[in-house]
Amino acid sequence: MAHRQFLRYALVGGIGFIVDASVLTLLVNGLGYGHYVSRAVSFPLAVTITWWINRQWVFQAAAPTAQEYSGYFVVQLIGAVINLGIYVLTIELIPAFAETPVVPLAIGAAAALLANFLLVRRYVFGRATTFDSNQMKEQPEKEFEYSGVENLIAMKKARNYNKFLLDIVRHNLIGNDILDFGAGTGTFALPLQTTGVAVACVEPDARLRNDLSISGLTTYVDITAVPVNSVDCTYSMNVLEHVDDDRAALSAIYERIRPGGRVIIYVPAFNLLYSKMDELVGHHRRYRRKDLVQKMKDANFQIDTATYIDSLGFFSALVYRWLGNNTGVISSGSVKIYDRVIFPLSRILDHVVLGSFGKNLLVIGTRPI
């Protein structure tokens, strides 16, 4: 059965290529649109058509769901990254193939096709699929409430993602007096505390603040309670978007940092991606680079770094924005698959697109001396 499904899947892939190439040619040569705009139309259209044929003919899946489609779309992006990566790697390892690029192209395409088939069969249309809505309903309700304390606890399962954010903080820390603006459950403050730095936490939630205090961390209910000019570095990871008056918050952070000190801000990017999930967890906004940079400059920070992160996440979030459910809840299985498989690939792609877009935005600034 598996080999028959694979042959059908390959055939559907051929149909997708024809659709992609035909629409791209029509838009570029027939209607005069630019290559990038045309590709942005032709690729999602080809993905959508192949998704429908695969679910109806190849895998004979049950009723379609937004989670299924978003999972399928993300798998196609993974395949594109695998294809390009193997193409480049083959030419680098065997320079002779540079004269016959069709060979590494074929190798990359074959590897991507097989990877796509296995991922789609297992995680999108399979009986144990992570993206299946029925499985999501079988999970404990509190585990998947994407808001408040429960959401913060659930996000601790995103090991790669949290390690990446912690590494950002560690690599950019200066001084010894550190402030965590929006510490939550201590995902970043507790590991940093073990390295010997003095971490203080701003956390308005009384229960979380109490837990942080029990762990030996200095806590404040509000940024205004922190002494002025008392910290060397402040970091805020996915918190500023929750603050109603973010300009006032940035100004208050500036006043607490000593001259020459640093601020590290990591936030969701692009209001285009704002979805029910953002609404559920209390996001007031998502950010564009130029807007957050300007707000930080208005607060008198000097900008050192401003880059988008998680390029593959941009596309998956866009699909979720268009087709996501009305609750804003996602399954823990989806989070784990994204964290273990897609996010590492996304970080590789980030180096290719050079931070030109992504699901999140990182801005690092300095208080001038």
Report the CATH architecture of 142-366.
Answer: 3-Layer(aba) Sandwich (3.40)
d(CA 176, CA 153): 27
Q: What is the pTM of this model?
A: 0.63
Strand 360-366, strand 257-268: pairing:
antiparallel
pLDDT of 19 > 90? The answer is no
Contact call for residues 319 and 365 (beta carbons, < 8 A): no
Q: Indicate the domain borders of the chain.
A: 2-139, 142-366
> Residue 185 CA to chain centroid, in angstroms?
20
pLDDT of 300 > 70? The answer is yes
Question: Which carries the bigger pLDDT value, residue 173 or residue 72?
Answer: 173
Question: Which carries the bigger pLDDT value, residue 121 or residue 91?
Answer: 121
pLDDT of 91 > 90? The answer is no
Phi, psi torsion values for 40, nearest 5 degrees = -65, -20
Confidence of residue 342 (pLDDT cuts 50, 70, 90): confident
Contact call for residues 350 and 309 (beta carbons, < 8 A): yes
Residue whose entry in the numeric block shows the structure tokens 């004269």: 99
pLDDT of 297 > 80? The answer is yes
Confidence of residue 137 (pLDDT cuts 50, 70, 90): very low
Question: Which carries the bigger pLDDT value, residue 335 or residue 198?
Answer: 198
Q: What is the pLDDT of residue 279?
A: 85
Q: What is the pLDDT of residue 352?
A: 84
pLDDT of 101 > 80? The answer is no
CB atoms within 10 A of CB 255: 17
Question: Which carries the bigger pLDDT value, residue 301 or residue 141?
Answer: 301
d(CA 182, CA 176): 19
Confidence of residue 158 (pLDDT cuts 50, 70, 90): confident
pLDDT digits (tens, 9 = 90+) for 213-230: 999 999 999 999 999 999
Confidence of residue 102 (pLDDT cuts 50, 70, 90): low
pLDDT of 144 > 50? The answer is no
Q: Provide the b/e sequence for 209-237 (b: ≥16 CB within 10 Å).
A: bebbeeeebebbeebeebeeeebbbbbbb
